[in-house]
Amino acid sequence: MIWAEVDLRAIRQNLERLREWLPKRVSLMFVVKEDAYGHGLVPVAKASAEIVNWFGVATVEEGLALRAAGLPHPVFLMIPPVGGKLTAAIRAGFHIPLGDLGMLPEVEEAVRRAGKPALLHLEIDTGMGRFGLLPEEAEEIVERLKPKWVKLMGIFSHLSSAYGTAPEDLEFTRAQVWWFRKLLQEWEGKVEAPWKHLANSAAVLAFHEATAPPLNMVRVGTAAYGYPEGPGKPPVPLIPAARVWAEIAAVREVPAGWPVGYGRAFVTTKPSKLAILAAGYSHGLRPELKEVVVREKRAPLVGKIAMDTVACDVSQTEGVRRGEKAFVFGPEVERPGWVCPILVPVLLSARKRFISQGAGTPGRI
């Protein structure tokens, strides 16, 4: 089993520091998709409501949950909804990305059903290669937009490699930013929309040009939860908001040459002391997770991760006992780089409790 303690005060502090770092004219969209990266959608959104300008979510249901919690902020759907969900999003007044040419007829039909205009953001593909329009497609779409059916509220793109540290990642990110800003400048007077956004957490921290005019909004996710991404040391201190741990179910000593786990993928080279964690891939542990922290010392994972167990080597740590905690995330654990693929699955499966302060204090779940 995985447990997590989410410090909502840390999220507030991270957002306040990011807000101070950003130019005052730039609006802050806080990305709370997928249950706020597993941290808890409604508690996190309530804790941050006074600091942020927008919320970014993955689904219509997440947006409606924010409305039910009394949060009036503009809501941006980060994935284009389909079918009845598109109609529901328009009816709720959520901002919707236009992800491909074939979506426009669907939007017009959904508008007829919803009885109100759609709030659209044109997504321009500058190198992510998922959703988005090529620039020439975008100009074609703009000519087809009917003000009766659609309000063009934003133009945005998505950076694919801003979290990377390799020289080619830096070069590609700067090229994406340059291309998108040049496109927006060329469209001035022809394609008008109040919001222009590109920067994610990594770009906010490392690429100042991604917040330069005409760009006027950023989409911040992982940095707000305390995990900086991108090249170099972050310009503002960030606090990991989640402390995540698994319980140690057994502590064993095994001889050299002893296989550990399915497939004998790991064999000890010397007598070893192993702590067996009561957590596995059914709790979100992924192969990218290489170590945990036990008694403030690193403990490398050994053998394959099973459904509900995994072993770690605690040979260098004295006195480890059954029932102790092995920390996966938290201030005790340094996890540089792109942590989302490890953090989110683990947190989504965790049993959580919240530490909060101030208005909107949530209870336990």
Is 227 one of the catalytic residues?
A: no
Amino acid at position 20, single letter: E
Comparing C-alpha atoms, which of 281, 277, 272 is closest to residue 313?
A: 272
**Residue 45, H or E segment:** helix 41-48
- Write out the two tokens for 169: 């990642």
Q: What is the CA radius of gyration of the chain?
A: 23
- Write out the two tokens for 68: 């039910």
**Residue 57, H or E segment:** strand 54-57
Comparing C-alpha atoms, which of 331, 163, 328 is closest to residue 239?
A: 331
Is 325 one of the catalytic residues?
A: no
How many alpha carbons lie under 13 Å from residue 110 in its C-beta half-sphere?
25
Dihedral pair phi/psi, residue 282, rounded to 5°: -70, -15
Dihedral pair phi/psi, residue 304, rounded to 5°: -75, 150
In 3-state terms the chain splits into helix, strand, coil percentages (rounded to 5) of 30, 25, 45
Which among 33, 46, 325, 352 is annotated as catalytic?
33
C-alpha 39/C-alpha 359 separation (Å) is 18
How many alpha carbons lie under 13 Å from residue 37 in its C-beta half-sphere?
24
Task: Give the chain's length.
Answer: 365
Which among 116, 146, 182, 262 is annotated as catalytic?
262
Q: Which residues are catalytic?
A: 33, 262
